Amino acid sequence: MVADTESFDYLEPPRASDEIGRLGPYRILSALGRGGMGQVFRAEDTRLERIVALKVMNKKFSATPHSRNRFIHEARALAAIKHDNVVTVYEVGEHSGTPFMAMELLKGHSLESISRGEQRWSYPKIINCAIEISRGLSAAHARGIVHRDIKPANIWIEEPTGRIKILDFGLALANSPGDAYFQRGAVVGTPGYISPEQSQCEPMDDRTDLYSLGVVLYELFCGRLPFTAKTLPELLIKIIAHSPQRPDQVNPQLPKPYADIIVSLLSKEPRGRIRSAAVLETLLRSTQEMVENESHAAMQIVTLNPTTTLAKATISNPKFGSTKRLSNQPVWYVGTAISVAMVLLGGGWWLFSGGKIVSKPLPAQNVAVAKTPDVMAASLEPLQLSDVLAGSLSIVEGQQARFRMQLTNTANTRGVDPRVANAEAKVVAQIRTFLKQSGKPKQAASAFPKKLSINALPAPGRSNAVDIAFETLGLPPGKYQAIFELQSPKGGKVSEVSALFTIEENLASNDLLGFELIRTSEGNGADAFVKSGTKEVLGGKPYLATQHGDSKGKQADQHLYLRFDVNTRVDPAREIDRVVLVLSLAAGGLRGNSTINAHEVPRDFSARWKEVGDHHLTWETSPSVGGVESLPFLGQVEIANAGGSLESVDDAIRIYSAALDDYVRQSDGPVTIVLVRKSSGALETRFKSREGNAAGSPALAIRTKQ
C-alpha cells in the first residue's frame, strides 16, 4: 500500500490503527492515487460519517499563493456543478495551508480498460458514452471551467448503473504549463490527448476539451491514438503540424458520419471544431439516429430451407466472451445469424463493432436468398415532389435545417402505380438533399437519403407530407438553395423541388474574431442607470441594474444607458459590416431568466449626458421620462442565469440585429443605447459597469468590411 512507503507530512498523526492520519475532520484511510497537483485519499468525513475521495494539493503547489487560490476558486466553481455526468464535490476547503476537495467515492472503473482494448464496445455504446461526456462538459463549460485533461483515465464508468462521470477537474490546475509535458495529469494535459494550442502553450477555451474528446473517440473506434511518437518533441510536432489518418481509413467499418465528427473535433484551429459541447451532444444524437436508420435500411432478407440443418455451426463473439453451438438451435435462430453475416458481406454498417460472426461454409443448395428486383426510375415517374410547405427560411449556422414538402402520386391506373409495380421492394425510392450557393457547384447535404418504403407512398391521386432535416455545421453563412431530389434506390432521378434559405452567422456564441471591441470605459464612453420615482444619481456605481416595475408601484422601473465613443476606434473610411452589443452579468442580481430590449437613443442626446456632475443623468433628465417604447427598437436578448453560471463569463450576453448595424453605421459621433428589462422578477438584472470592471464593461463589437 502507498501509505507503507510514503510519508504524508502535511497530515496530522493517526488516532486509530486503520488510519494513515488526519486532515481536519477527515480520517485518511488509504491512498488511492496521485494526480498532477496532489494526492487522492480514501477518507471518512467524521461529521457526516460518509466515505469520500479526498484530493489534497501537494506542498509544491500549495506553497504558491497563486496556485493555491486558483485551485480553491476553480474547485468551488466545480462544486457548484450538479450534474449526473460530473463527479460530485461535497466540500472545498483549506486546512493548515493545505487545500483539499472532498468528492464522492465512485465504484467502477475508468475508460482506460476500454481504450487499451481489454474490452470491446459496440459503436452505439461508444456514441452514448460520448453523449454523456458532452453533457458533463457542457455543464462545466457553462460555469467557465475548462477541464484541460480529458483522457480515458479521467472518464469513469460507474457501477452498477454504467453512468459516465468526468473526474479530476480540480487537479487540472497548475501555474506552469511546461510541467504537464513531464508529469502526467498536470494542467496542460497528457501527451497524446493534448490539443495543438496546449502543445504550444497558447490560451485555451472550451474547445480544447472537445479536441481531447475527439482523441478519445478516435482511440475507441480505431484502437490507437491519432498520433504516436518515440519522443515528446516529435509527438508535439505531429500534434501541431500533421494531419492524422482519417478514422474511417484506419477502421473501414466505421460509418463516415462518425468519422466526420471526429475529424471536426481534431481540427488544428479551435474555430474549425464543433463550437460547443452542447452542439456536439445534439449532433451525436442526430448522427446516431441517421446511422442506425441507414443500417436498418441496408439489411437484406435471408431465408433458409425449412429442412436445413447446420451441423456444428458456431457463432463466436469475443465482446460477450462466449462461443455457442448452433447445431441444436431452431432454424429461425440460425437464419438470424446468417442474415447478420450477409449484411456484413453486402457492405452494410454493422453497429456492433468488435464482434465476429463465424460459421462453417454451407452448401449452396441449402440457402435461398430472396432477391429483390431492382426499382427502375421509370417505374417511379408518377411520383412527384412539389410545394415546399414549410421550411427554415433563416437559421443560425450550426442549427438543423428542416423542410416539409409534398409527395404526390399522379398514377391514373393500377398498372402504372409505383406501389404496385414495386410491391416486392423493401425500399422503393429515396430523397437526397443537395445544397447550392450562387456560382458554386451543388454539394450533398450532411443528411442520409430519406428512404421510402411502399407504406410511405401515397395512393393514386393523393399526397403525403415528407419531412427532411439536415445539419448545417461547418457551412459558411450565406444564401443557399436546398435541392431535394426524388430518386430510385440506385440514384436514378425522378423529380426534384427546391427552396431558398439563409444561414445566418452565429453571433450569439461564436468567437468575435475580426471584431473591434469599444467599451464604455474608453474615450467619451459612459454607463449609468436611472430609476423612476427618484432623483438619485445612479451613475458611477460598480454595477448597472435594470428592473421591470409592477403596476402596484412596489417596484420601480430601472433603465440602463450606455454610450460608446465609436469614432475613437473605427476608421470612418471603412464600412461597418456587423455590430454586436456585448455585456457581462454582475453578481448579486437575478438568478433566473430575464428579457432585455435595446432601443436607440436620439442622436442629439448622446454626447451631452454625464454619469455624474453637470448634465448628470436621472429619470427626469433622460428619455425614459417620456417612455422608451416609442424609440427605435434595436434588438432583444433572453438571459438564462438560473444557476448564476453566466456571472463568471465576461461578454456572454449579446444583442445584434440589422437595425443595430444601421444605427451604428449612420452615426457620426457617440452612440447611446438604452436597455429596458421586459420580464418581471423581484430582483434586478445586474451588469458590470466601467467602474466595477473596466475590462468587463459594456462594449460594442464592430467588424468592418475588408
Please identify which residue in the block is written with the cell numbers 497558447: 202
Q: What's phi and psi for 143, nearest 5 deg?
A: -100, 15
With 0-12 / 13-18 / 19 or more C-beta atoms within 10 angstroms meaning exposed / middle / buried, residue 455 is exposed
How far is Cα 610 from Cα 590, in angstroms, rounded to an integer? 27
Continuous segment of H or E residues that includes residue 316:
strand 314-317
Q: What's phi and psi for 627, nearest 5 deg?
A: 90, 130
Among all residues, which ones are annotated catalytic? 149
* SS3 track for 25-60: CEEEEEEEEECCCEEEEEEEECCCCEEEEEEEECHH
For the record, the C-alpha cell of 362 comes out as 454451407
β-pair type (516-519, 478-487): unpaired
Continuous segment of H or E residues that includes residue 440:
none
Query: Among candidates 308, 272, 290, 348, which has minimal Cα distance to 513?
Result: 272
Q: Is the peptide bond before 623 cis (omega within 30 degrees of 0)?
A: no
Distance of CA 337 to the CA centre of its chain: 38
| Type of residue numbered 74 | E
Tell me if 102 sits within 8 A of 16, measured CB to CB.
no
Which string of b and e fits 145-156 if b means at least 16 CB within 10 Å?
bbbbbbbbbbbb
First to last CA, the chain: 65
How far is Cα 284 from Cα 164, in angstroms, rounded to an integer? 16
Q: Please report how the helices 277-297 and 123-141 are oriented relative to each other, as an axis angle in degrees rounded to 10.
A: 160
Using a CB cutoff of 8 Å and minimum separation of 24, what contacts does 230-235 make?
232/181, 232/191, 235/191, 235/192
| Type of residue numbered 111 | L
How far is Cα 52 from Cα 335, in angstroms, rounded to an integer? 52
How far is Cα 687 from Cα 694, in angstroms, rounded to an integer? 12
Tell me if 591 sits within 8 A of 648, measured CB to CB.
no
β-pair type (463-471, 526-531): unpaired
